[in-house]
Amino acid sequence: MSRILVVDDEKNIRLVVGKSLEKSGFDVHYAVDGVEAVDQANKCNPDLVLLDLRLPKMNGFLVLEALKGDTPTEDIPVIILSALSDEDDVQRAISLGAEDFLVKPISQSDLLAAVEANIRTEESKNTKEEENEEEENNEE
Amino acid sequence: MKIKTLKGKMLLGFAVMIIIIAGVVGWSIYNFEILSSAINDIMVENYRSITASDSMVEAIERQDSALLLLIRAPEDRGQEIFRRNEKEFYTWLARAEDNITIEGEGEILSRINDNYLNFVSSFDNFYNAPAGTNETGERWEIYNEELLPTFTEIKNDIRELREINRQEMVNAQQNADSRANQAIIYTIVLALMVIIFSLIFAIYLTKQILRPIKELEKGIKKVADRNFQQKVEVASEDEIGVLADEFNEMISKLQEYEKLNVKKLLMEKEKSEAVVNNLSSPLIVTDQDHKIVLINEAAKELFSIKQDVIDTHFLEVIQAEEIFEYIKNPNAKEKNTFKLKTNDKKRHYRISTNQVIDDAEEYQFTVTLLEDITRLKEIDNMKSEFVSTVSHEFRTPLTSMNMGLSMVINEDTGELNEEQRELLEAAYEDVERLTELVNDLLDLSKIESGKIEMEFDKVDINDIIEKTLNPFYKQAEEKEIELEFKQSEDNIFAWADPSKISWVISNLVGNALRYADEGKIGVSAEVKGRRVLVSVADNGPGIPKEYQSKIFDKFVRAGNDKDEKSGTGLGLAISKEIITAHNGRIWVDSEEGEGSTFSFYIPRFGYQEEDNE
């Protein structure tokens, strides 16, 4: 069972996103701030991180930087799920290594599609990029 | 006596001349008179004396003849002749004696008288003596011894008398000659003097008359030069003096008027200066040569100008090429805001330049007003910031609402009955609308604050339209609306950001689809000179006139908008921002009940202005 770490300070987001993912058969873990996110990522070694950018204690960019800059976590795909949608923010996140950038609000189907596309599986570890392209095409 | 009028002066002048001329004439007449009378008197008297002398000679000669007659015959006739001529002689002698005019004449006459008395008394002796024959006899002797010498003596005396009178006449003539010459000389001298005097007098009089006129002339010249200070000083009291007085009166009136005018002008000037100076916005007025004509305090402060800069070239005073560009070509650029750093504070200004055209339609001044819009910019930024923040804050709760609702509706959490589903779907629909609104708001605030950068490129507008219309065909078909793209020519290249233009077209077509229930939507693109024109025409309900100018504002919807069809009310506002950022224009032509045509133009490729980048 794939493990997903949902990082968001908003309780309701954690609830709906978590529920939605659980219904789709994922093992969902949670973190409420940046520090906890890095902590959890190291502890539970998720196959995907859904990361909010505006977080207490340590913002999403710093979390992303920490995850991608640390060997044990650098391979974990990170999907940003944020209310921020400025070009600058997107660019920054992508350049820091984020796999995808989802802007809130997002529909359940779009979220699941992005998760499916990016989640780390045994097979996808090597052919991730090709799959990405296929999934994107399927989205429309 | 003082003569006051010009007429009087002239008459006086003429009177003096006439008197002088009359004097000269009188004097000449007097001279002639004296001359002629002198000649007359002397001539007449001398002539009388000569006549008397001649007559006396004649008488005494006749007596002599009578004596000779009596020598031979003692006739009474001889005595009678003698006596008659004696009488005659006395008569002429008496006349001569009455007419003694010359010195010595009296003596001669008394000698003649004495001799004649002797002659007459000798005659008595002679007559008493008896007559003889030829050269004998007593009478002969007496005649020879007494009468003849006396006769000769008398005759000589008379001749002398005649001679002196004749001499006197010659003298008198010479005298008259010299007098006449003298008179001629005197007359000439006098006439010359009179001529000179008249000339001097005439010049003096003319001057006297002309001097005030000259003064007046000077005064008029001064007035013509707008010098109202000096009055004309004409002392005379004649007509010119009166004229000068009237003139001075006029000058003082003019002066008053001028003062009043100047006062008024000064007041107006002060007023406008006060207005200009109290204007908190910097204001600079420049002339055709870009020299500063007027600059207010605010402008001086802004550019730290301390000295007097009037009549100095704009760039010499203010080293701001950017502003100068606007002054040189007013209305040339649409973007007219710029930043200025003053006292380490960045301020934003909106520049507006206005050409002042005079009555002759000639350009005279350029009024440049700098409006401090820093505060507006701040407020605008704050507003954008606020909208952005609020929108972001909406997004998170919208996410949980959206996902939560969709999970329930998808029955991930158990089955729903019809009623529950209907209600939840209504809620879901509104969440979607809210999401759309928030996204539009964010887009708009981004465009407005310039956060979204246009990525201009050479694009084929036909391609963009085709791609944009693709997703709409199905939608149109469902509503039984004919959606048609009329391609006028191949490859219409525009200078645009393809995704933004696509967004605008999609918004316009979306609107048309939303409002039309049936009929036709026509999209067209064509080249219009330097521009590319895109139109989206529908035959929907149309837009009432009063809304046509407002629909591009935020949150404005046409009055016939029906609730279920309402969009966010931001689509057209965003479209306008996008088109404006392209240096284009978007507008609507619509007739209520007939449909609407939304059109916009953007620069054609190759004709974009350089500052579009």
ipTM for the predicted complex comes to: 0.76
CATH number of the domain that residue A79 is part of: 3.40.50.2300
Interface check for A107 against chain B (CB to CB < 8 A): the answer is: yes
Q: For residue B291, with 0-12 CB atoms within 10 Å meaning exposed, 13-18 middle and 19 or more buried, which class applies?
A: middle
Question: Out of 3.40.50.970, 2.120.10.80, 1.20.5.510, 1.20.120.1730, which CATH number does the structure's domain B6-202 have?
Answer: 1.20.120.1730
Instruction: Please give the Cα distance from B373 to B348 (Å, whole number).
Output: 5
Residue B438: what residue type?
A: V
For chain B, helix (H) and strand (E) counts, in that order, are 15, 12
Choose from B400, B442, B500 for mutation: most chain A CBs within 10 A: B400
Tokens representing A115? 């998760």
Whether residue B46 has pLDDT greater than 70: yes
**DSSP reduced 3-state for B259:** helix
Instruction: Please give the Cα distance from A6 to A51 (Å, whole number).
Output: 6
Instruction: Please give the Cα distance from B198 to B201 (Å, whole number).
Output: 5
Tell me which residue in B403, B412, B453 faces A17 most closely, judged by beta carbons.
B403
Average pLDDT, integer, range B448-461 = 77
Spatial contact of A81 and A104, defined as CB atoms under 8 Å apart:
yes
Q: Phi then psi for B516, rounded to 5 degrees?
A: -90, 140
Contacts of A23 in chain B (CB under 8 A): 407, 412
What pLDDT shows up at residue B559? 54
* Segment among B304-318, B442-456, B485-499 with least mean pLDDT: B442-456
B452: closest chain A residue by CA: A87
What pLDDT shows up at residue A6? 92
Whether residue B322 has pLDDT greater than 80: no
Give the pLDDT confidence of B338-370 residue by residue, as tens digits. 777 766 677 888 888 888 777 777 777 888 888
Instruction: Please give the Cα distance from B292 to B365 (Å, whole number).
Output: 9
> Which residue's entry shows tokens 């009178």?
B165
Residue B386: what residue type?
A: F
Whether residue B134 has pLDDT greater than 70: no
Whether residue B124 has pLDDT greater than 60: yes
**DSSP reduced 3-state for B571:** helix
Whether residue B175 has pLDDT greater than 50: yes
Q: Do residue A105 and residue B392 have CB atoms under 8 angstroms apart?
A: no
Spatial contact of B540 and B522, defined as CB atoms under 8 Å apart:
no
Residues facing residue B367 across a β-bridge: B285, B354
Task: Report the DSSP pairing between strands B283-287 and B363-372.
Answer: antiparallel
Q: Phi then psi for B4, rounded to 5 degrees?
A: -100, -25
Q: For residue B612, with 0-12 CB atoms within 10 Å meaning exposed, 13-18 middle and 19 or more buried, which class applies?
A: middle
Give the pLDDT confidence of B540-599 residue by residue, as tens digits. 888 888 777 778 877 666 655 544 455 667 788 888 888 888 888 888 888 888 888 899
Average pLDDT, integer, range B107-114 = 86
A13: closest chain B residue by CA: B400
Average pLDDT of the residues of chain B: 81
What kind and span of H or E run contains B510? helix B498-515
What pLDDT shows up at residue B610? 47
Q: Do residue B400 and residue A12 have CB atoms under 8 angstroms apart?
A: yes
Residue A72: what residue type?
A: P
Instruction: Please give the Cα distance from B295 to B280 (Å, whole number).
Output: 12
Distance from CA of A37 to the nearest CA of B (A): 19
Q: Do residue A108 and residue B410 have CB atoms under 8 angstroms apart?
A: yes
Share of chain B above pLDDT 70, in %: 91
Residue B596: what residue type?
A: S
What pLDDT shows up at residue B2? 61
Q: Which pLDDT band holds residue B612 (cuts at 50, 70, 90)?
A: very low
Instruction: Please give the Cα distance from B175 to B35 (Å, whole number).
Output: 9
Average pLDDT, integer, range B163-185 = 82
Chain B residues contacting A via beta carbons under 8 Å: 391-393, 395-404, 406-407, 410, 412-413, 431, 435, 438, 442, 446, 451-453
Overall CATH class of domain B280-372: alpha beta
Instruction: Please give the Cα distance from B42 to B44 (Å, whole number).
Output: 6
User: CA quadruple B40, B41, B47, B48: dihedral positive or negative?
Assistant: positive
Tell me which residue in B392, B407, B453 faces A108 most closely, judged by beta carbons.
B407
C-alpha angle B333-B335-B341 in degrees, rounded to nearest 5: 115
* Segment among A123-132, B178-187, B299-308, B447-456 with least mean pLDDT: A123-132
> Which residue's entry shows tokens 């008029």?
B220
Please list, residue by residue across B465-484, b when 16 or more beta carbons sit within 10 angstroms of its beta carbon and e when fewer do.
beebbeebeeebeeeebebe
Q: Do residue A16 and residue B392 have CB atoms under 8 angstroms apart?
A: no
Spatial contact of B485 and B465, defined as CB atoms under 8 Å apart:
yes
Give the pLDDT confidence of A24-72 residue by residue, as tens digits. 888 999 998 888 888 888 888 888 999 988 888 888 888 888 888 888 8
**DSSP reduced 3-state for A60:** helix
Residues facing residue B287 across a β-bridge: B365
Distance from CA of A107 to the nearest CA of B (A): 6
Could you report how far apart the first and last alpha carbons of chain A are, in Å?
A: 27
What kind and span of H or E run contains A48? strand A48-51
Tell me which residue in B410, B435, B446 faces A105 most closely, judged by beta carbons.
B435
B450: closest chain A residue by CA: A86
Tokens representing B146? 């007494």
CATH T-level fold of B454-612: Heat Shock Protein 90 (3.30.565)
Please list, residue by residue across B235-270, b when 16 or more beta carbons sit within 10 angstroms of its beta carbon and e when fewer do.
ebebebbebbeebbeebeeeeeeeeeeeeeeeeeee
Whether residue B397 has pLDDT greater than 50: yes
What pLDDT shows up at residue B297? 83
Size of interface A-B (CB pairs under 8 A): 69
Domain that holds residue A88: 3-139
Contacts of B395 in chain A (CB under 8 A): 83, 103-105
User: How many Cα neighbours within 13 Å face the side chain of B382?
Assistant: 6
Choose from A11, A85, A90, A110 for mutation: most chain B CBs within 10 A: A85
- Whether a cis peptide bond, with omega within 30° of 0, leads into A105 is yes
Whether residue A132 has pLDDT greater than 60: no
Spatial contact of B337 and B373, defined as CB atoms under 8 Å apart:
yes
Tokens representing B453? 């950068």
Task: Report the DSSP pairing between strands A78-82 and A27-31.
Answer: unpaired
Q: Which pLDDT band holds residue B332 (cuts at 50, 70, 90)?
A: low
Distance from CA of A16 to the nearest CA of B (A): 6
Contacts of B404 in chain A (CB under 8 A): 12, 15-16, 19
Question: Out of 2.40.128, 1.10.3470, 1.20.1250, 1.10.287, which CATH number does the structure's domain B378-447 have?
Answer: 1.10.287
* Segment among B51-55, B441-445, B468-472, B492-496 with least mean pLDDT: B441-445
Tokens representing A46? 């998720």
Q: Where are the domains of chain B?
A: 6-202, 232-278, 280-372, 378-447, 454-612
How many folded domains does chain A comprise?
Answer: 1
Instruction: Please give the Cα distance from A82 to B215 (Å, whole number).
Output: 98
